[in-house]
């Protein structure tokens, strides 16, 4: 009888713990919203003044490497009074609070999941403007990373699986099933997706570590390598023409991290001489010391007469899914 009583007590204790745990778990709805669209929660008067100007200056930062200026994010402004219910469920939200103590916070899954909420507060306009300016890079990085993850999640719903990339290059790369292998030659792959107005493309191949002199001009070396690859694998419509770096634009160079490995990131525009074919590219050279190589992944877009931001950001999400096999 004593053992039965102890057993009953133990079961009741477990059930009580489970009940308490479930009460502490907050039910958070699924986030929503178009990619690269920020809900900005700010008083209408602030939005029309200097604070609004600073918010727009931050969020409409131009995407580097595009032929025409395009903003990093689209903006949907709303006053705090209407920020409730479905309006709180956007994936990326910037909230401006005037009259509060000076502060900058990044909150995860505050109203929906996944979600990044950036809260900027200050006693007056000057404090808020100063915080927005000082944290510009942090805001852009937070929102952009969230949207890359969202794009990658969409890709995971219908990934391309019938390719030899992992077998040949010893790495994994997640890209949508809408893409097809346009060319495969040894350790070189050219993957393409048809668009209404053109194509979205990426190439992946490897070069030895000795191909890059870290003490030399990195941009010059990257361009020389990509132009030689374009000449070999990406011919133009006329004899002798091929994809090359457009000389009229100065390339952007960044040091970044891909798959926890250092990488060079170069952005600019490409062209095919004596034709109207041109567009943006983003080239990543990922240092793979274990295999004594750089893994090179380059995305490039051909989409005349339309905005190219979303196409390029899709390519960036593909490239940043890279996982090199150990």
pLDDT of residue 26: 61
**Spatial contact of 170 and 157, defined as CB atoms under 8 Å apart:** no
Q: Any idea what DSSP says for residue 102?
A: S
Q: Write down the mean pLDDT value for the chain.
A: 92
pLDDT of residue 273: 79
Percentage of residues in the chain having pLDDT higher than 90: 86
pLDDT of residue 276: 82
Mean pLDDT of 255-284: 95
Q: How far apart are the first and last CA of the chain?
A: 58
Q: Any idea what DSSP says for residue 87?
A: G
In the numeric block, the tokens 């952007």 are attached to 252
What's the helix, strand, coil split of the chain in %, to 5?
35, 35, 30
Q: Is residue 14 part of a domain?
A: no
Q: Which of 95, 125, 154 is the last residue of a domain?
A: 154
Q: How many domains does the chain have?
A: 2
Per-residue pLDDT of 164-219, as tens digits, reads: 999 999 999 999 999 999 999 999 999 999 999 999 999 999 999 999 999 999 99
pLDDT of residue 25: 53
246: domain CATH number? 3.40.1000.10
Q: Which of 154, 187, 203 is the last residue of a domain?
A: 154
Q: Is residue 124 part of a domain?
A: yes
Angle at 300 between CA 214 and CA 204, to 5 degrees: 60
3-class SS at 61? coil
Same domain, 90 and 175: no
Same domain, 142 and 245: no
The pLDDT of residue 78 is above 70: yes
Q: Which of 154, 184, 205 is the last residue of a domain?
A: 154
Model pTM?
0.89
Mean pLDDT of 225-230: 97
Mean pLDDT of 133-151: 97
Structural domain harbouring 171: 158-324
CA–CA separation, 116 vs 110, rounded Å? 8
Q: Is residue 5 part of a domain?
A: no
Q: Is residue 11 part of a domain?
A: no
In the numeric block, the tokens 């942090």 are attached to 138
- CA distances, 41 to each of 74, 119, 298 (Å): 14, 9, 37
pLDDT of residue 28: 85
How many alpha carbons fall within 13 Å on the CB side of residue 320? 20
pLDDT band of residue 237 (cuts 50, 70, 90) is confident
Q: Is residue 113 part of a domain?
A: yes
């Amino acid at each position: 009888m004593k053992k039965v009583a102890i057993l009953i007590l133990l079961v009741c204790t477990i059930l009580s713990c489970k009940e308490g745990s479930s009460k502490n778990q907050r039910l958070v709805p699924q986030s929503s919203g178009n990619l690269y669209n920020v809900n900005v929660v700010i008083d209408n008067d602030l939005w029309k003044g200097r604070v609004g100007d600073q918010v727009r200056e931050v969020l409409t930062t131009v995407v580097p490497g595009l032929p025409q200026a395009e903003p990093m994010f689209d903006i949907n402004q709303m006053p705090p009074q209407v920020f409730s219910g479905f309006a709180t469920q956007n994936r990326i939200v910037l909230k401006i609070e005037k009259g509060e103590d000076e502060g900058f916070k990044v909150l995860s899954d505050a109203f929906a999941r996944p979600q990044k909420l950036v809260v900027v507060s200050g006693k007056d306009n000057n404090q808020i403007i100063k915080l927005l300016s000082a944290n510009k890079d942090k805001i852009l990085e937070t929102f952009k990373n969230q949207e890359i993850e969202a794009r990658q999640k969409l890709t995971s719903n219908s990934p391309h699986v019938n390719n030899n990339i992992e077998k040949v290059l010893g790495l994994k790369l997640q890209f949508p099933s809408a893409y097809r292998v346009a060319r495969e030659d040894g350790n070189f792959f050219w993957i393409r997706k048809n668009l209404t107005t053109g194509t979205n493309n990426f190439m992946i191949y490897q070069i030895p570590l000795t191909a890059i002199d870290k003490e030399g001009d990195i941009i010059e070396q990257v361009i020389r390598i990509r132009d030689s690859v374009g000449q070999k694998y990406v011919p133009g419509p006329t004899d002798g023409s091929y994809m090359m770096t457009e000389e009229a634009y100065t390339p952007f160079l960044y040091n970044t991290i891909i798959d926890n490995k250092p990488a060079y990131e170069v952005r600019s525009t490409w062209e095919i001489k004596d034709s109207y074919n041109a567009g943006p590219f983003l080239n990543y050279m990922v240092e793979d010391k274990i295999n004594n190589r750089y893994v090179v992944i380059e995305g490039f877009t051909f989409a005349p007469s339309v905005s190219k931001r979303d196409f390029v950001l899709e390519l960036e999400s593909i490239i940043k899914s890279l996982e090199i096999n150990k």
